[in-house]
A and B are shown apart, each in its own frame.
Chain A
Amino acid sequence: DADVTQTPRNRITKTGKRIMLECSQTKGHDRMYWYRQDPGLGLRLIYYSFDVKDINKGEISDGYSVSRQAQAKFSLSLESAIPNQTALYFCATSDLAGGITDTQYFGPGTRLTVL
């Protein structure tokens, strides 16, 4: 089984709808991240969380919100989806060993299309 899973893998929705993307991990990592990938722009950080009680905005948080329900679960919500939020979304996790953050491990991604 995959260490980092994302659901759904594909989603098509309409402008104005509320959408939730979910991420679960079995790696036991404390840190979780949400990224957005657009062609020619690489991956950009939306939100990140160091533990259940810690949520931080990333580079492009406007229009998004997150919830860290447990150490293993980190959800991304689009309260009112708009077409320019059409993108590939990735969840990632990392650990903190000796005060130095370890490798980030990515899930398989969710392709979101907003019509």
Chain B
Amino acid sequence: GENVEQHPSTLSVQEGDSAVIKCTYSDSASNYFPWYKQELGKGPQLIIDIRSNVGEKKDQRIAVTLNKTAKHFSLHITETQPEDSAVYFCAASRVQGAQKLVFGQGTRLTINP
């Protein structure tokens, strides 16, 4: 089955700097890669996703890149702000069918003022 590895487990950056979180996956049939943000005491919330027919997707300060050949994808947050502090999870699945998301281990991102 699918296995998703996420790095780093913790990340601390200065406000205004960029943050990058990386994930690798094992199942070459996976073609849907969402990123979730989990704030303290809340459930995960989708912030951006990418499907395998594109290599990059951007939404304001957040971008995701996908390298299907190498089977890895990354989350990029630019101009970080204190409200970006949270735990971030990557996941992988097949778009059609059961869509059983397999999650990475999570990255705790701290933005230092």
Binding site for B on A (CB under 8 A): 4, 31, 40-45, 48, 50, 56, 58-59, 90, 92, 94, 99-101, 103-109
Contact among A43, A59, A99 for B44, CB-based, below 8 A: A43
**Interface membership of chain B positions 84-111, coded 1 if the CB is closer than 8 angstroms to chain A and 0 otherwise:** 0000010000011111111111100000
Q: Establish whether residues A103 and B46, one from each chain, have CB atoms under 8 Å apart when the complex forms.
A: yes
Nearest-Cβ distance from residue B101 to partner chain A, whole angstroms: 6
Nearest chain-A residue to B89 (Cβ)? A42
**In the complex, B45 has a CB within 8 A of chain A:** yes
Q: Establish whether residues A90 and B101, one from each chain, have CB atoms under 8 Å apart when the complex forms.
A: no
A4-B43 contact in complex given A40-B9, A101-B96, C-beta closer than 8 Å: yes
Nearest-Cβ distance from residue B30 to partner chain A, whole angstroms: 13
Nearest-Cβ distance from residue A53 to partner chain B, whole angstroms: 16
Across-interface contacts of B49 in A (CB, < 8 A): 103
Across-interface contacts of A43 in B (CB, < 8 A): 44, 89, 101, 103
Contact among A41, A92, A105 for B105, CB-based, below 8 A: A41
Known pairs A103-B34, A106-B43, A109-B41; list 17 more (Cβ under 8 Å).
A31-B99, A40-B9, A42-B6, A42-B103, A42-B106, A43-B44, A43-B101, A44-B103, A45-B100, A48-B100, A50-B98, A59-B100, A59-B102, A100-B95, A104-B34, A106-B45, A109-B42
Binding site for A on B (CB under 8 A): 1, 4, 6, 9, 34, 36, 41-46, 49, 89, 95-106
DSSP class of A's interface residues: helix, strand, loop or mixed? strand
Contact among B46, B95, B97 for A104, CB-based, below 8 A: B46
Q: Which 3 A-B pairs have the closest CB atoms?
A: A106-B43, A101-B99, A42-B103
Q: Establish whether residues B104 and A42, one from each chain, have CB atoms under 8 Å apart when the complex forms.
A: yes
Across-interface contacts of B9 in A (CB, < 8 A): 40
A48-B96 contact in complex given A43-B103, A103-B34, C-beta closer than 8 Å: no
Q: How far is the CA of A105 from the CA of B47 in the complex (A)?
A: 11
Across-interface contacts of A41 in B (CB, < 8 A): 105
What are 19 pairs between A and B in contact, CB < 8 Å?
A42-B89, A42-B103, A42-B104, A43-B101, A43-B103, A45-B101, A58-B100, A100-B95, A100-B96, A101-B96, A103-B46, A103-B49, A104-B34, A104-B46, A106-B44, A106-B45, A108-B41, A108-B42, A109-B42
